[in-house]
Amino acid sequence: MVAKPGLDGHDRGARIIARAYRDAGFEVVYSGLHQTPEEIVEAAIQEDVDMIGLSSLAGAHKYLFPRTVELLREKGADDIVVCGGGIIPEEDIPALKKVGIKQVFTPGTPLDVIVKWVEDNVKPR
């Protein structure tokens, strides 16, 4: 699942990532814009996804990403891998990983590197 939490309305990157996943053979669910962590987690559980890729360009990643992981734990779905991407300052990445974000991809990361990471790190639930 590729998800756009919060008020961020810029989804070009998320759509590019979703297409790269699809082209690599993954089934992709795209949440659409302006989703709450609660909506993202509900959709992820309903769709039985293996991974959620959160995209944030609006600076709310320090709340939205950890909240998504927290809700997955509360719902007993913490076996869903969560990664993030977007405009994420390097200094914020260790704190995001500490709360359960498995990987963070910043602008300029080649699509094949992102796809390879998913192939190597996300196993079917």
Q: Look up residue 60 and give its amino acid.
A: A
| Count of residues in the chain | 125
> Could you count the other beta carbons within 10 Å of the beta carbon of residue 80?
20
CA–CA dist 34, 95 (Å, integer):
24
Please give the DSSP secondary-structure letter assigned to residue 92.
G
Tens digits of residue pLDDT in 21-43:
999 999 999 999 999 999 999 99
- CATH number for the region 2-121 comes to 3.40.50.280
How far, rounded to the nearest angstrom, does the alpha carbon of residue 17 sit from its chain's CA centroid? 10
Tens digits of residue pLDDT in 48-74:
999 999 999 989 999 999 999 999 999
Cβ(105)–Cβ(124) under 8 Å?
A: no
Q: Is the pTM of this model over 0.75?
A: yes
Tens digits of residue pLDDT in 1-12:
999 999 989 999
CA–CA dist 56, 87 (Å, integer):
6
